[in-house]
Chains A and B, each alone.
Chain A
Amino acid sequence: MQHHLSRLLLACAAGLLSASTLLVNPPAAAASCTPPARGAGYAWMGVSETMSGARAVYSEIKTYDPFVGGSGFSYAWVMLPGSGSNQWAQIGSYKSAAGRTTTAQFMQQSFAYAIQYDWPAKTVGSVHSYSVGRDPATHVFQAYVDGSSVKSITLDWTPNGAQIYSEITPLSNQLMGEASNHETFGNNQIMNASAQWQTFAGQVSTPTTSFGSNGSAISFGTWDLCK
C-alpha cells in the first residue's frame, strides 16, 4: 500500500513538473546557429509604417527557436508605437534564458517598466497570426493570437503607425531565423483610421554583415548570419 502511494506521489510530482515546464519550454527543435560574441546592444530587422490614426497591425509569424544565452531576449513581434517616449504595445514569439513564450508587452510613460504577459509558446515551425489593435473611442488596446483576444489594457497614448520586426539584445543572442530557415512575417497588414485593413507598406531593413532579410513589407523574412 505504502509503495503504491509513494508511486502516486511521484506521479503527482512528475505531473506538476511537466505542467510547469510546458509553461515556458515546450518541445522545440535545437537552434542551429550560435552567434559569436558581438557585444552589447540591440538589433532589429523588419519594417515600419508611419500612419496617423493607425488602429491595428497584423502579421502571420512563423515560430522559430533561436539561440539565447544568459541574458536578454530574441523577439519576433507586431507593435503599435506612439510618437512619445515609452509608448508601445506589442505581441509575438519571444525567447529569453527562461525559455520560449508567446509574449505581449505594454508601455506608457507613467509605467516604471513595460508590463509583460506570457503564454505558452507555439510549436516550432508553426505559423500563427499576431495582432494588436486600439479602439480610439475607449483607448483600450487588445492583443490577439490566431484571432482570439488574449489581453486588453487601457493606455494613455495614440498610435502613430505600426511595426513588424525581429529583435535581439544583446548581440550575442540569435535574431529569429537562420540562412537555411528564415523567420517569416506574412500577410502583413495595418488598419487605418477608418478601420479598413490595408497591406503593409515600408522599406524592409537592409541586410547587414550580421543579419539577412528578403521580401517586401507585405511578406518578408529575417535571419541571423551568426557572424
Chain B
Amino acid sequence: MRRQSYLRRLVSLGLAVWLAGALVACSNDSSASPAPTPSAAAFFLLVVDIDGPPVDIQINGKSAGSAVCYAARSGPDPTFAPSNTQPLPWSVVVLRHGGRVLATFQEDGVNGPRTVFVRANGVTEASYGANPGPAPAASCAA
C-alpha cells in the first residue's frame, strides 16, 4: 500500500515536470540571456578590425602586431596567445596606427578567449565568438 502511494507520488511528480517542460516549449516568449559564449578554451586574443582605422596592438608595453579593416584586406584576423616571453596578465593597448591610444584592456585569461572589435565608432572588448553588431561599413574609417 505504502509502495503504491510512493509510486503515485512519483507519477505526479513526473507529470508535473513534463507539464513544466511542455509549457516552456510552447511559450511564445523566452527568458533573456547573455549572447552565448562559446567554449572557454585556453586564452587567446582575437583582434577584429571590422570597419575601424588601421591599428597597432601593444601587449605589456611591447609591439605585438597590427590590424586593418575588412574592406582593406582578405586575410585572417590577428590572434595573440600567451607565451613564455609574453605571459598573462596582459595590458593590451589599441592605438590608431602610428598615433594615439584608442582603448586599453586588461586580460587575465580567467574568462577564456576574448575578442577586441575595432569599429568606426569605437573599440570594444567581448568574449570570443560574441556578436559584434552591424555588418562592416563599405570603407575603413580614416
Contacts and interface: CB of A to CB of B under 8 A. Distances in A.
Contacts of A83: 121
Contacts of A23: 24-25
A136 to B, nearest CB: 20
Secondary structure call for the A interface:
mixed
Interface string A1-13: 1100100110011
Given A12-B17, A19-B24, A163 B129 contact: no
A170 B113 CA distance: 13
B122 A85 contact: yes
Contact of A85 (B29, B31, B121, B127): B121
Interface residues on B, range: 35 or more
Nearest to B20: A16
B21 A1 contact: no
B106 interface: no
Interface stretch (B57-65, B73-81, B88-96): B73-81
A149 B133 CA distance: 22
A117 B133 contact: no
B86 interface: no
Given A9-B14, A20-B21, A107-B133, A117 B32 contact: yes
- Interface size class on chain A is 35 or more
B142 interface: no
A84 B121 contact: yes
A212 interface: no
B56 to A, nearest CB: 19
B130 interface: yes
Nearest to A171: B76
A50 to B, nearest CB: 9
A115 to B, nearest CB: 5
B132 interface: yes
B101 interface: no
A114 B136 CA distance: 18
15 contacts: A1-B4, A5-B10, A12-B17, A16-B17, A19-B25, A39-B77, A41-B77, A85-B122, A112-B34, A114-B131, A115-B35, A116-B35, A150-B28, A151-B29, A167-B135
Given A22-B25, A48-B134, A86-B124, 6 more contacts: A16-B22, A44-B136, A96-B38, A98-B36, A113-B35, A203-B138
Interface of B: 3-4, 7-8, 10-11, 14-15, 17-18, 21-22, 24-25, 28-36, 38-39, 46, 48, 50, 74, 76-77, 79, 119, 121-122, 124, 126-138
Which 7 A/B pairs are nearest by Cβ-Cβ distance? A71-B38, A85-B122, A12-B14, A81-B134, A19-B21, A44-B135, A19-B25
